[in-house]
């Protein structure tokens, strides 16, 4: 049975809410039960932001995540906060471009993704969220990468449409890093 409880966390403006939302939309498109709950500090940009996403083949009893099965962390404060909460045997995906520290936990699968560096190489550092989402999707197999790419096309705002092809490339590049 597919069931994943994931936290996406970083600074406001890093796109963690959008990455989690894309995963939630992909889960819906594949017929899964889904919850997506955003949370952010008082500042939209620069403050902390995170969201919880639960995807399951069965009905979800409660949308609150105490011990996630996975965490995707984009900055040091998020690593410090969420690494200890991931269940043993879970997955920690780290933006190694901004987080030089290595996890000391031996009971996790840890994936270091230079998401910000890859996004910058692709022409826009703000695509780091999509790079790391691609890596997460590839590592978990929770949903199909093609489904996420389709949801990206559907949910990218009109103002951001010029970034559709680069974001789809970023998604593929993230997946290729796994």
Query: What residue segments make up the domains of the chain, in order of their start?
Result: 3-176
The pLDDT tens digits of the residues spanning 92-148 come to 999 999 999 999 999 999 999 999 999 999 999 999 999 999 999 999 999 999 999
Gap between the Cα atoms of 173 and 115, Å rounded: 9
73: tokens are 């962390």
In tens, the pLDDT along 132-177 reads 999 999 999 999 999 999 999 999 888 888 999 999 999 999 999 9
What's the rounded Cα separation, in Å, for the pair 152 and 140?
A: 19
| Tokens of residue 129, six digits | 């969220």
For 47, how many CA atoms within 13 A lie in the half-sphere containing its CB?
9
* Topology classification of domain 3-176: Pyruvate-ferredoxin Oxidoreductase; domain 3 (3.40.920)
pLDDT tens per residue, range 15-68: 999 999 999 999 999 999 999 999 976 655 567 799 999 999 999 999 899 999
Say whether 35 sits in a helix, a strand or coil: strand
Quote the crossing angle between the two packed helices 128-140 and 16-29, to the nearest 10°: 40
């Amino acid at each position: 049975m597919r069931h994943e409880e994931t936290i996406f966390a970083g600074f406001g403006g890093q796109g963690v809410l959008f990455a989690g939302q894309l995963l939630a939309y992909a889960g819906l498109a594949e017929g899964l039960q889904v919850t997506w709950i955003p949370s952010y500090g008082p500042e939209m940009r620069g403050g902390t932001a995170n969201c919880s996403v639960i995807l399951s083949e069965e009905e979800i009893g409660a949308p609150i995540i105490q011990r996630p099965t996975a965490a995707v962390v984009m900055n040091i404060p998020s690593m410090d906060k969420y690494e200890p909460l991931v269940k043993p045997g879970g997955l920690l995906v780290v933006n190694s471009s901004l987080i030089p520290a290595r996890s000391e936990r031996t009971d996790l699968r840890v994936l270091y993704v230079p998401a910000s560096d890859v996004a910058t190489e692709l022409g826009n550092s703000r695509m780091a969220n999509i790079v790391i989402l691609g890596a997460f999707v590839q590592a978990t197999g929770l949903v199909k990468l093609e489904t996420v790419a389709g949801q990206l096309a559907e949910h990218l705002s009109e103002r951001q449409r010029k970034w559709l092809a680069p974001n789809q490339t970023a998604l593929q590049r993230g997946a290729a890093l796994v």
